[in-house]
Chains A and B, each alone.
Chain A
Amino acid sequence: MAVLDSKIPEGPLADKWTQHKNNIDLVNPANKRSIDVIVVGTGLAGGSAAATLAELGYNVKSFCFQDSPRRAHSIAAQGGINAAKNYQGDGDSIYRLFYDTVKGGDYRSREANVYRLAEVSANIIDQCVAQGVPFARDYGGLLDNRSFGGVLVSRTFYAKGQTGQQLLLGAYSAMNRQIGRGKIKMYNRHEMLDIVKVDGKARGIIARNLVTGEIERHSAHAVVIASGGYGNVFFLSTNAMGSNVSAAWKIHKKGAYFANPCFTQIHPTCIPVSGEDQSKLTLMSESLRNDGRIWVPKYKEDVQAIREGKKKPTDLAEEQRDYFLERRYPAFGNLVPRDVASRAAKERCDAGFGVNATGEAVYLDFAAAIKRYGKELAHVKGLDEDDVSLIDKLGKEIIKSKYGNLFQMYEKIVDQNPYETPMMIYPAVHYTMGGVWVDYNLMTTIPGCFAIGEANFSDHGANRLGASALMQGLADGYFVLPYTIGDYLSDDIRTGTISTDSPEFEEAEKEVRNQLNAFLNSKGTNPVDYYHKKLGKIMWNKCGMSRNEKDLKYAIKEIQELREDFYKNVRVPGTAESFNEELAKAGRVADFLELGELFAKDALDRYESCGGHFREESQTPEGEALRDDKNYTFVSAWEYKGKPSEAVLHKEELTYDNIELKTRSYK
């Protein structure tokens, strides 16, 4: 078995990154002009990397399947971005952010990577403010913060409920500057369909122009995959409709190991599923848990009455409600990490306390916060603090200023007014901690192929803390990859332009064409979505919030059968030489059908509960997750061997020199 070399630099934790930067090779500015880099994806990671690499002088080719780089799904991130600025003076520090992230990830992330992330976090905020990102500010004109789950400090910077949008537009503006200068060549509406290796190194990609259907060859000295996560393997998730695993999966099939595929984040506060025709789920930002209290009725008869419409949630008195997070986790209350909050909600709903027709919803209630804020404001303004309707009015104004867009979004979807009645929420698939295995330099096991942002695996362990995805995306793209890629490219200064006429490009293009033609010629009876929905159901029911050996084994079999049926009976209309979304979807679902199996296989192999991965066989008598540090303190990195069932496991042992492994307790 090959030993995975994570290339973590020597030296004390706090000095590793600085020393590494001092020791790695650089490419001089003149030579950078003769080096090409391909970046796939234009979200926070891809967009920031493309901009920075172009600023440094590399020739960048940037690809996105959307009609503009600004549409990448980072845009939908709501709540905020963490940074160890300690502006609030509440005891925050690089070490504390590092510690919270490793603990939040349930001790399954790599210490050195996480420390570096915490170290560069403060720079991100400086950078974004300088770019003109309009973060929220207080009346003194300084930046405001809020707190997020799993931590005891306020370190989250935000721009209302649209932080991802504002950060992405910042990265997009940096890209635009370089596109205007001709240093980034932008390929909108293009999808990467394979990677091309020459002499074992990543030297280009095959892409399809989604407008004309043309198959194109693009060469480069390095390829950066920033294509996001694979939550859409569940069909219903908070990901965008087009979010897919294909770029990551294609490199996996060509030699990049895939790490911890079963580590998925199921986010506690999403709008519940309403019907069979639903195409996606909508997140309600975790920031709402700052002010919202989560509860279900304490008594079954009230649950029944509510489901039948005989009672309203507001009819229930305090003592008839079960604020189950506050009850189970008094120290963190409603701000426990996402995995803990999700499982607690599932536990109540499974026990029959779910509050909507499907039995899969809990309340998120702002009545207490409205009252509290109303009183505060009345006091500040010298108004009558006992005037109930005034307090209510003032309180709602404050809530509106904080979460207005989220409340509006909720009302449009559910057709209920969350200022007057509690929101209904239920957990949904949101983020994938697993991804392409990378070393400290963010390079995959294919030389010259890098993976950044959600597409890689390294920083969040088995559970990601809120407001850390934006942090990681921008850290990788602005501050980490631009250094580490130079170390690799310093060997390529004399290589010259890579030809796309080689047999390797020929072969890769042929494979791509064959697959597209196979879909079009299959002439089956079922649309692509039919398979995607079926796969989603298998994943959600057997590989979702709670997993066990029997179900996982069954899921593997079901996915294999579904995949076989897909290739026989899928129907893809139209031609390959035109705008054809069904054809693009078919390719993505084909990859999900393979990833799904590896996902289940990984979950089956990990006989412990950690973070978002809850194995029913491994729990405490109180039903809390039980980690097995003795046997599972490692990263599972899977090597592709022809099909998912044959994948070979490589283990990267995780060592914790600076943090003591503890049972994660939020009680």
Chain B
Amino acid sequence: MKLNLKIWRQKNATEKGSMVSYPIDNISPDMSFLEMIDALNNMLILRNEEPVAFDHDCREGICGMCSMFINGEAHGPDRNVTTCQLHMRKFKDGDTITIEPFRAKAFPVIRDLVVDRSSFDRVQQAGGFVSINTSGNTQDANAIPIEKNKADLAFDAAACIGCGACVATCKNSSAMLFVGAKVSQYALLPQGKVEATQRVQNMVAQMDLEGFGNCTNTGACEVECPKGISLENIARMNREYLSASLKG
């Protein structure tokens, strides 16, 4: 395959960036999208140019490190995949592909396609945990039976990989799907109930502080989420938040 890549190049957080065109040839449809970028970088290094910086690690869709806004979509045109699981067979010979970083006020660009998502970590630090020590002196794991459907829903929420596609996709750069998923996981389990009131209030406060926008229910985040995290999690978080506010 022959492609024309248009890629966002930006030297560092302070300098201005711009789109740069790179024609590339000999791309096999079986390559993953990141292997295609590897091939480009290899070419750039041999030409004595600096390679395109991008985040990636596990390359099997679970670590959440890869990002990229491809042709206007987070993680590209395929559904339920991360960029590392996207394959070139989804594109046609001769295509022009536009590649930008995940853009949001709370995700400043570090270099090229690499952004700083530590705001996500700080939201988790505000309350995304159960306050028990890891001493091992807890009760037996089977002491509290948990309804299977609730356990399954908690798992579905916990499957979030924290990639930030929801934020990058949202016209308001809202992180409600990400935060809602974590709040939901604990709200659905008896272990998380004890601190539910505090948790949702603290996490939402931190989310606002980081500069994420609000949710206006367009549902775009759910469509682009590589793990299929459901919008119901946002609704559940709103319920949790409301009831927490009433409790004070």
Contacts and interface: CB of A to CB of B under 8 A. Distances in A.
Contacts of A134: 151-152, 154-155, 158, 185, 189
B159 A137 contact: no
A571 B51 CA distance: 12
A414 to B, nearest CB: 9
B124 to A, nearest CB: 5
B237 interface: no
A132 B199 CA distance: 14
A270 B142 CA distance: 34
Given A132-B186, A413-B87, A579 B12 contact: yes
Given A68-B117, A141-B148, A132 B58 contact: no
Contacts of B161: 165
A238 B58 CA distance: 8
Contact of B151 (A123, A137, A529): A137
Contacts of B133: 52, 55
A280 interface: yes
B155 A166 contact: yes
A165 B159 CA distance: 8
A371 B132 CA distance: 45
B142 A136 contact: no
Given A73-B63, A578-B12, A173 B142 contact: no
Interface string B154-167: 11001101100000
A162 B62 CA distance: 9
A90 interface: no
Nearest to A131: B130
Interface stretch (B32-40, B207-215, B217-225): B32-40
Interface residues of B, number: 79
B138 A127 contact: yes
Contacts of B38: 277, 279, 529
Contact of A409 (B30, B61, B120, B124): B61
A242 B151 CA distance: 33
Contact of B31 (A51, A75, A275): A275
Contacts of B87: 412-413, 415
B158 A169 contact: yes
Contacts of B141: 85, 125-126, 128-129, 135, 143
B248 interface: no
Interface stretch (B17-25, B108-116, B169-177, B239-247): B108-116
B191 A274 contact: no
Interface in A486-529: 525, 527, 529
A39 to B, nearest CB: 14
Contact of A132 (B62, B89, B185): B185
B13 to A, nearest CB: 9
Contact of A240 (B11, B41, B58): B58
A571 B120 CA distance: 36
B110 A409 contact: no
Given A131-B191, A277-B35, A408-B80, A578 B130 contact: no
A126 B129 contact: no
A75 B62 CA distance: 7
Given A126-B138, A132-B189, A579-B12, A75 B145 contact: no
Contact of B148 (A69, A137, A527): A137
A176 B124 contact: yes
A52 B45 CA distance: 44
Given A127-B134, A132-B186, A188-B118, A70 B64 contact: yes
A171 to B, nearest CB: 8
A411 to B, nearest CB: 10
B180 to A, nearest CB: 16
Nearest to B155: A134
A129 B191 contact: yes
A130 B118 contact: no
Contact of A180 (B51, B53, B125): B125
B71 interface: no
A275 B87 CA distance: 13
Interface in B27-67: 28, 30-32, 34-35, 38-39, 41-42, 44-46, 48-51, 53, 55-65
A123 B136 contact: yes
B205 interface: no
B77 interface: no
Contacts of A48: 134
A8 interface: no
A162 B155 CA distance: 10
A238 B89 CA distance: 23
A76 B58 contact: yes
A307 interface: no
Given A76-B63, A240-B63, A130 B57 contact: no
B173 to A, nearest CB: 18
A569 to B, nearest CB: 13
Contacts of B158: 134, 159, 166, 169
A67 interface: yes
A136 B154 CA distance: 10
B62 A76 contact: yes
Interface string A400-440: 00000000110011010000000000000000000000000
A525 B140 CA distance: 60
B42 A579 contact: no
B154 A130 contact: no
Contacts of A525: 46
Contacts of B154: 132, 134
B145 A277 contact: no
Contacts of B11: 578
A72 B146 CA distance: 29
A282 interface: yes
A545 interface: no
A278 interface: yes
B139 interface: yes
B197 to A, nearest CB: 16
Nearest to B61: A409
Contact of B45 (A69, A179, A283, A527): A527
Contacts of B49: 573
B32 A279 contact: yes
A443 B57 CA distance: 29
Given A132-B130, A160-B155, A478 B136 contact: yes
Tell me which of B64, B116, B129, B131 has the highest count of chain A C-beta atoms within 10 A of its own C-beta: B129
B97 interface: no
A592 interface: no
Tell me which of B35, B39, B142 has the highest count of chain A C-beta atoms within 10 A of its own C-beta: B142
Contacts of B233: none
B98 interface: no
Given A130-B191, A579-B110, A87 B142 contact: yes
B151 A136 contact: yes
A387 B135 CA distance: 53
Contact of B111 (A275, A527, A578): A578
A126 B145 contact: no
Interface in A359-414: 408-409, 412-413
A176 B134 contact: no
Interface string A267-281: 000000011011110
10 contacts: A71-B58, A73-B58, A87-B142, A120-B136, A130-B191, A131-B129, A136-B155, A160-B155, A277-B35, A412-B81
Given A131-B129, A525-B46, A579-B53, 7 more contacts: A73-B63, A132-B191, A134-B189, A160-B155, A162-B62, A173-B130, A478-B136
9 closest Cβ contacts across the A-B interface?
A141-B145, A173-B129, A123-B136, A134-B155, A130-B138, A180-B125, A129-B141, A134-B154, A240-B57
